[in-house]
Structures are given as structure tokens and as C-alpha cells.
Structure 1
């Protein structure tokens, strides 16, 4: 069959935005209007029993609007962009086979990038290696490990800040597990592009101060709903430590530090709000610099109608 006669690729919608931008409300509204099914793109909502601090949709909401890729693993486990991509593509195939459209919604921008652009074949995460790197960082500091990385893999080190703990750790982990530079692996890898026609929508605030107010209100609501008790329950149910991905999640990390005497309890609210604001800032940077979706002001009063109008042609 010639390229001209090839059938059109099935559609898929990507709905992305910073925390507290109203993604869930827009996704539910689209579910009422169009034949879509929801796939969560959230690296925190994959953890079971982590409900309050992840702003996970509650049981009635999930019953009315089922989501794929929520409550997949325990907080003792790790989840990767590669596993997300595999899980998401499997869910998308199921949805498409039913004649419906996948709607992927969330704020983990790396997952969106991995889905659309593909991934090179990197060694999987190794908790023993990561723990060893974390111990070194605690003793020497992340700038010292960044300097070590600069000798081993100067190209990767050059694009990282000396305090970018997560990415420095990953680059060193790849080196120690494979003996290969992360930059070399990325440069040599071919990425498989998924066979979908993506429509990307980004929710961004026209006024950051309003988003910051929303973030503060939401963190206050999490505290009032029992976030501290949730972390206590998790510690009682699972064998957790501070360097697990689950306990690195914004909100959980700040509560963990308070409960382990590493930060004053009186600072919990301010530290949690500040960390969430920094997360939102990074998410907005991803949207503008890397993912570049069609953007909509998440603060406008007719947001849902505007997004609906934008997507209307998909369902004609």
C-alpha cells in the first residue's frame, strides 16, 4: 500500500499542565462530551495508598471516570518513564480497539516526552546503586558528585546544574551499571515513534500569583485531610526510606522530614507550598521549552469550552 493510500493514524489527546492548573476537571468535562478514556500521566499517582498528597481522584470520581495507570505499585517500588511508556501504549491500544480515543492527562512531563519521542535503551533503576550514590552525596554533597560526573561524562554534566540531584544520580547510576556514558547511549539510540496522531494541549496560567494561591489552598486542604497521618500509615504498612521515589514526591518528602526530626514542624506548610511552587515552575518550563503544546489559559472562565472547541474536529 502506498503512503498516500495508508489509513490515517488513530488520534490521541495529551492534556498537560502544572499542578493545580485544573487538568482533572477539564479531563472529566471532555469525558462527558466525547468518546474518550482517561490515562493518568502522573509519577506519584502510580503508588497505592498515596491518595491525599498526590491529589488522586477519589473513589466516586474514579468510578464515574475510570483512569488507567493509577494505583499500580506499592510505595516500596520504583516506576520509570520506560515502564510508563509501555503501560501507556498498551492502554492506548485497548482504548483504540474499542473505537474510542485515549486522553492522557497529567503533569509528569518526562512521561509525555517519553511517550511521544520514544526512549533509548538505558539500564533499569537499581536501588542498591542509588542508595550508594545517595550516601556519597550526603557525605560529599551533590556538587562534588557533579564534578565527578564531569570527568566521566562531560556532555551530560554540562547540561546539569550541580544541585540537580535526581539527574546527576541517574547519570552516575548508568555509568556504574553499564560502564557507558549516558550522553553516548542517548546519542547512539534510535527511538520508536508511536503510531498515533497526537493533539497536545497545555494548561498554563496567565497569572502565576493566582496559580500560587491555588497551590497554597490545595496544600492546606491536603494537611486538613490528613496528609501527615497518611505518611504515618505508609510508614507502618511498608518498609520505606527517604530515598525511595515515593518518599521523594512533593509533600511526602516534607512530611517525612518533619516526622524524622529533619525539619521543624512549624515549617511544614511553608516548605510544602514552596516545593510545590518549584514543581509547577519546572512543569511550565517543560511545556514552553520542550513539549510545546497548544496552550490555553487555565485561569480563564470558559476554559473547558475553549478546549472543547479546539478538539471538536477530532470527533466530527
Structure 2
């Protein structure tokens, strides 16, 4: 029942009275939900509030504790995963403040510049609370592959650790976590311009045809991708065409997580999670999502593939008069719920993850303190944001 850190030490488990123990807390508090720190002339710092929540229970298997025999406190990586809008970013900030850490992006859209409100990037206030890395590192017109992300993330993690700080990986892109935390093979396939053009032309002529094709050749990968996620569908077909192997085969991994990582995930009761999703959508429009999309169209063109992804595609239908605002928001709500379910399905396959159910801000703070206590036991003398941890 232990998570591990590299070294000859172990994380003590969060105290609990049963297999599922509620960390009692009271009250709800408005928190900052990640809407962008400005990265373009049209973007400005905006703060959107939402409720955060936390109940926790430990789901680690007993076998995980027994196989951690050569851990060291010299280096550490905390990974925070889970569905969209569950409260990962706020917990990451709490831990960064308490542990003298830095927040590292593990979201496949937040790595792209200028896509701010629609991807729920950190706010200016969030940046003031803790350093952030790996956000806004890619040009939206270019494909930033998983292999490129892993290379950038590994270098960033090493740099943060070398400076004596704690890297805190935060996001909801399961493949990013898998590539970093496990012995994982990534196909080194450069973008194939002619093949991509042909595939995109086929999709334009017959919408949905590429996802159907992927279902036939690689049903596992197809089940993980939304039919409208053209960028990833094209990438999967591209890798299969070049290598002769489906993407799902490339995405297999070893069973052993790297020994220097505390891997956590948040979840929430459906009503609470859906309430947070609904509120985030409403506040995205108040923060200027439609205006952001107009600016992106002017700067990058209407055919930018990233504008066909969640939140931007539905907003585009609103701007083009295909739906009114309420219809666009309802579609965003439906699609985001579906996305959250896919994220939960992905992460629940991983038995290495320690799950914590979230409900309110007070409990989130209690969980953050409990994690800090565990880290202090694994790394005596670690310098926190408040000084050295005893």
C-alpha cells in the first residue's frame, strides 16, 4: 500500500480506517480554474472560479510495496492525472507551493501556443503561485509528436531535479504519462506531408471515413479517439502506414513504473464532476472563448486541425451560425463528459495509480498536506516552500 520515490525510502500511505476512507472536510471554496496566461495579443489574464473537491482512498496493490527495494530520495517526480475539470491543476499548485516544486504540462493541447481559453491553460495568477514548464512550447501549425514530448519532458524533469526542486507532472493525456513513467517504445515516424494531405482529403470528401478505417485496422486505438479528433486519427493511420504496425502495438509498455515516481489520480462523483464541467464551459465563454477562436482563425486559418478539437469545434459552429450559444454549450458539455469518461477508462487500466476521490477545497488541502507528509518521510530535509520539512 505504498507509492514509491527513488531511493532507500518509501512513501508512507495516507492514514485510513478502511479500504475507502473519507478525509473529512467542510465547506466549498471558489478556486482558480486554468484559463490562460496571455500568449498572444488577443489573450489576457482571466481567472475563472470553480469548486474543488477531495475524498481519498488508496487503491495500490500490496505487491507494489514489496517490489520497491532500491529506492532513493535523490530524485523525485510527482504525477497527477485524472479527468478534465476534476481539480488536478489546483492540487498541483498546492503541492508546488508546499514542496518548492514546478508544474509540468501533461496535456496534449496545452503544449501549443495561443490555444489558451479553449484548453484551460493556467492563469497569470497560477503562474504567480509556482513556476510552470512545457506549456506553449509548440507551434499550432506543426505536429508535436509523443516522441518529441517525451524528449522535452525528460529534459525538463532532469533540469528541475538538478536545481533541487520537485517536478509535478499535471494533466489528462494518458499517453504522455505512459511514455514518461514506463519503459515505452515510441515510433520514430516523422510527419508524412503527402500522406496526411491524402488522408485529410479523404476525410473532407467523406466525414468519418478515417475513423471507420482506423476501427477496421486498429480497433483499440479507434476506441480511444473521438471520430472528430482528426489530428490523432491521422497520426495513428500515418504510423500504421509507415511502420506496418498499428499504433496500439507501439503503445504497449512494460509493467514496471519507474522507481522515482509518486503516481496519483483524482476522480469525483459524477454529479460533482459534471457540475464543474458545466460551470467551466459557461465561464470559458465569459472569458472570451469565441473571441479567442476568431483570433486563431485570423492568425492560423480556419482549417487549422486543432480548431476541430474539443471546445473550439463547437464554438466554431456557433460563430458560423450553425448553432446558437446554448446549443454550442450543450454540445461542449456532452463532448466533455464523453472525453472525461475516456480519460477515466484509460487511467483505470493502470494498477500503479493511487486514486483519490475529490469533493471540496478543504479536503483538497487536506490531501495536499498528507502528500507533503509522505514526501517528507521519503526525503528527510527536503526544502519546501515554507522551509525545510522536518
TM-score, scaled relative to structure 1: 0.83
Rounded Cα–Cα distance in structure 1 between residues aligned with 2:72 and 2:297: 52
Contact map agreement 2:117 2:292 (CA 8 A) in 1: yes
Instruction: Identify the residue that residue 286 of structure 2 maps to in structure 1.
Output: 224
Closer, same or farther: CA 182–110 of 1 in aligned 2, 3 Å: same
Rounded Cα–Cα distance in structure 1 between residues aligned with 2:351 and 2:314: 29
> Relative to structure 2, which stretch is displaced further, 28-37 or 157-166?
157-166
Which of residues 82, 85, 96 is equivalent to 1:31?
A: 96
Superposed CA offset, 1:137-175 (max 9, x none): 34345357635873xx4xx24663498535653332124
RMSD of aligned residue pairs (Cα, Å): 3.1
Instruction: Identify the residue that residue 39 of structure 2 maps to in structure 1.
Output: none
Hey, which of these two has a bigger chunk of helix by percent?
1
1:139 paired to 2:201: no
Can you give the 5+ residue segments of structure 2 that lack an aligned partner in the other structure? 1-68, 381-390
Which of residues 322, 327, 341 is equivalent to 1:267?
A: 327
Instruction: Identify the residue that residue 165 of structure 2 maps to in structure 1.
Output: 100
Contact map agreement 2:117 2:284 (CA 8 A) in 1: yes
1:170 paired to 2:231: no
Rounded Cα–Cα distance in structure 1 between residues aligned with 2:167 and 2:248: 34
The number of residue pairs the alignment matches comes to 304
Q: CA deviation at 1:23?
A: 1.3
1:181 paired to 2:248: no
1:199 paired to 2:259: no
Contact map agreement 1:145 1:168 (CA 8 A) in 2: yes
Name the SS for the 1:37 alignment partner: strand
Name the SS for the 1:102 alignment partner: strand
TM-score, scaled relative to structure 2: 0.69
Can you give the 5+ residue segments of structure 1 that lack an aligned partner in the other structure? none
Report 1:1-316 matches (<5 A).
Answer: 10-117=75-182, 118-126=184-192, 128-142=194-208, 146-147=212-213, 150=216, 153=217, 156-157=218-219, 160-161=222-223, 164-165=226-227, 166=229, 168-176=233-241, 178=242, 180-182=244-246, 186=250, 197-205=260-268, 207-242=269-304, 244=305, 246-290=306-350, 292-300=352-360, 301-315=362-376, 316=380
Q: CA deviation at 1:105?
A: 0.8
Closer, same or farther: CA 182–32 of 1 in aligned 2, 3 Å: same
Rounded Cα–Cα distance in structure 2 between residues aligned with 1:100 and 1:24: 18
